[in-house]
Amino acid sequence: MCGGVEARDAERSYKVYFPSPKAAIPVMLEGGESLGWVKWGRRREEAGQGPQGGWARLETVERGGWAKYQPIKAYGLVQRFMEKDAERKSHWFDVEPGFALDCLVLGEGEQRRVYVITSSPPEEFAWIHDRWPAMHRYELIQAQLRS
């Protein structure tokens, strides 16, 4: 389900874990506009309009279940993501250059949140978790990662 990510800015790399109330992911909109680091999801104790959690099931998105939030398609610019297995052991996976996490962005300003879209895992990793971040190849992301 993607409980953590590793992302970098111009200076260094950061490991970000969803349970942290300060968790954020660097995000680019579908058209190529960078939003910078956007707060990842909404925790139970946080006010806001979006749903609690940090993930959106692909099936629910496709059925229109997120339409009421007026989401904007975006991409999480991360180098790795982390999944925990049934024993709560962390497993890190590299994101291939030129690929990014499929995401939805909700809200504006201080209320803006990013949610990672999830689907079924690749068969060889189904033993780790039943949800997996959806990925997308994006040409503008490739150019940004090279610079």
Segment (H or E) for 142: helix 139-146
Supply the pTM of this predicted model.
Answer: 0.90
Domain boundaries defined on the chain: 4-146
| Ranges of the chain whose pLDDT falls below 70 | 1, 139-147
**Closest C-alpha to 125, from 77, 82, 96:** 82
pLDDT digits (tens, 9 = 90+) for 86-129: 999 999 999 998 899 999 999 998 899 999 999 999 899 999 99
Q: Give the Cα separation of 92 and 81 in Å (integer).
A: 6
Residue 134 CA neighbour count, 13 Å, CB half: 20
